[in-house]
Structure 1
Amino acid sequence: MQQRLTPATAVLLTLPPLLWAGNAVVGRLMAGQVPPMTLNFLRWAIAFVLLLPWAGWLLRRGSPLWPLWRRFAVVGLLGVGCYNALQYLALKTSTPLNVTLVAASMPVWMMGVGALFFRQPLTARQLAGAALSVTGVLVVLSRGDWDVLRQVRLVPGDVFVLLATAAWAVYSWLLVKPGDPPSIRDDWAAFLMAQMVFGLAWSGLFAAGEWATAPQHVAWGWPVAAALGYIALGPAILAYRCWGRGVQRMGPTIAGFFANLTPLFAALMSAAFLGDPPHPYHAAAFVLIVGGILVSSRRG
């Protein structure tokens, strides 16, 4: 059952967009140094090793994971195997502006998937919140100038982002499906490991196909090592842990609105690391996005 939005839950759902904004920046920097499917596989392989001390028991014979292998194979495919691999793939052929614009449809996907497949009714508050949130994203993308949006042209890479967003919406709804044993559901490390075991297998399969279909190259060095360390610790382990707990508390629909903080954080990171000063439209976008979250999360 959906709980009231508390400051602690808001922090849980705000941290993933912050880390994912950094993940988009790193993914763009790594576009010419590590193949996208390989980058995703290496990320989760490192995260898997880091999580073993806390959740390695889940791999033993007789673990409660194995009777649920079909469920977690699907969850791992969507959340670990596909989502970021498709984003990394998109960043090779699409611009950051296009990628963020397409990903801004997350609240709509969350509501649509919930209504169509999980019998989740839509409310006027949620629709109004979605309108406010998406408007805030458009303000960031347009830099306060709506003529910028008229110049946007979709390219084939944007299809990968659309598929990634749809996969994440279904993944988020599957997180709250009842039936998981408490030993997995109530242990954040075990819950993430259950997804990672099968997700790592999927991502490894995709990476193998990438190397089999065309010659690939990895530019090994400290930049690649630092990037892998960040995306394994932050956007993988910490972000997925916070997102999973936040979705369990608030439900996927409300959580989806927080995802639209990602382009705002990305813009602020550009200001911090590239020397671009913040602008008034950043404040306006923040008000609209947070307003969408508050409107949609209020109880009637």
Structure 2
Amino acid sequence: MDSRRASEPEPGPGKTQYVWWRDARLLMLVPGLVWAGNAIVARAVVSSVPPIGLAFWRWAIAAAVVAPFAMPHVRRDLRVMLIHWPVMVLLAALGISFFNSALYVAAHTTTALNIVMLQVSAPVLVVLASYLVFRDTITGAQALGIVLSLIGALTLITHGDWHVLSEFQFNAGDIWMLTACAVYALYTALLRLRPNVHPLSFLFASFVIGAGLLLPFYAVETWHGQAMPLSIESVLAILYVAVFASAIGYFAFNRCVELLGANTAGLSIYLTPVFGTVLAILLLGERPQIYHAVGIALIGAGIILAARRRA
């Protein structure tokens, strides 16, 4: 059955439309690329930007960025989204409000290494959530692909030295990160329940609802002396997470879930350390090592293997 939604236009002949409509394995590159900077930004501004404030302004500005493109579709789809408001609120609460807020809180209370190491649990938790909620099972190829990608991600994270895993020390911030990963997994599994509306309508409404749910918590955070500072650092951080990690990243990720299913699309999280590695080599002058090639090759092979049947 065609995975396109009834309210979406037919794909055109251009390469961009082809990637968007058909080649989800290429589309999976987008979330991994833009999300690679999300945890880095959160750690970079940890001393000056409060976590709930960062999350609130991220979604508020992302909604403003998407609005000009989404409004023609929102006017048409508003009635359908209002009818399905419980699902809209649930998805926004999980994937927009709580997930990213928990990640930013974790960035204040644990190390960057712990955050990245715990993130690799997310695709496995997606499979578990899909089974628990919908009794979805995976094929042998998908299972092998997940295992290969997991090994590749850990190879990059540990720099090829697996003894690093034995030095992992669990702390309070890690609970926030694990909870964030579990919520991300549930959001990904439940995306199939979203209303049959245009992707931009769904994206804009999710951002608005997510920011609205965070507003009272942002007010409490501000009231208790953690006001959002107006500085170049904070503005640049918010702009990055709003435009790239939110508007672009979620737009592409939602479509990947629609084309490939939650279990395979969830593997895009393993591309985050891949792009982090590539950016470090290109921009920071880090020297390529054998473990870089091994890790990236394993992740690539795993994703291709897991996505092959559905693609």
The 1-side partners of 2:297 and 2:78 are apart by 50
SS of the counterpart of 2:79?
A: coil
CA contact (8 A) 1:44 1:236 kept: yes
SS of the counterpart of 1:73?
A: helix
- Give the TM-score of the pair, scaled to structure 1: 0.90
- Determine whether 1:252 maps to 2:262: yes
- Determine whether 1:173 maps to 2:189: yes
Q: What residue in structure 1 maps to residue 129 of structure 2?
A: 113
The 2-side partners of 1:156 and 1:61 are apart by 42
- Structure 1 residue 72 displacement after superposition: 0.4
Q: What residue in structure 1 maps to residue 87 of structure 2?
A: 71
Encode CA deviations 1:27-79: one digit per residue, 9 max, x unaligned.
Answer: 11111121001100011111112222233363799632211111100000011
1:10 maps to a residue whose letter is R
1:245 maps to a residue whose letter is R
Q: 1:39 to 1:160 in 2, by over 3 A?
A: same
- Determine whether 1:134 maps to 2:136: no
- Structure 1 residue 173 displacement after superposition: 1.7
The 2-side partners of 1:198 and 1:108 are apart by 28
Shifted more, 218-227 versus 139-148: the winner is 218-227
Decide which of 188, 212, 227 is 2:199's aligned counterpart. Answer: 188
Decide which of 6, 11, 19 is 2:34's aligned counterpart. Answer: 19
The 2-side partners of 1:273 and 1:82 are apart by 32
CA contact (8 A) 2:53 2:227 kept: no
Q: 1:61 to 1:256 in 2, by over 3 A?
A: closer
CA contact (8 A) 1:2 1:251 kept: no
Q: What residue in structure 1 maps to residue 62 of structure 2?
A: 47
SS of the counterpart of 1:121?
A: coil
Q: What residue in structure 1 maps to residue 249 of structure 2?
A: 239
Q: What is the total number of aligned residue pairs between the two structures?
A: 292
Unmatched 5+ residue regions in structure 1? none
The 2-side partners of 1:153 and 1:193 are apart by 39
Q: What residue in structure 2 maps to residue 149 of structure 1?
A: 165
- Give the TM-score of the pair, scaled to structure 2: 0.87
Q: 1:37 to 1:60 in 2, by over 3 A?
A: farther
Q: What residue in structure 2 maps to residue 224 of structure 1?
A: 234
The 2-side partners of 1:140 and 1:252 are apart by 24
Q: 1:59 to 1:155 in 2, by over 3 A?
A: farther
CA contact (8 A) 1:136 1:284 kept: yes
Shifted more, 259-268 versus 29-38: the winner is 259-268
The 2-side partners of 1:141 and 1:202 are apart by 34
The 2-side partners of 1:59 and 1:48 are apart by 15
Q: Percent identity?
A: 33
CA contact (8 A) 1:33 1:217 kept: no
Q: What residue in structure 2 maps to residue 159 of structure 1?
A: 175
The 1-side partners of 2:88 and 2:110 are apart by 31
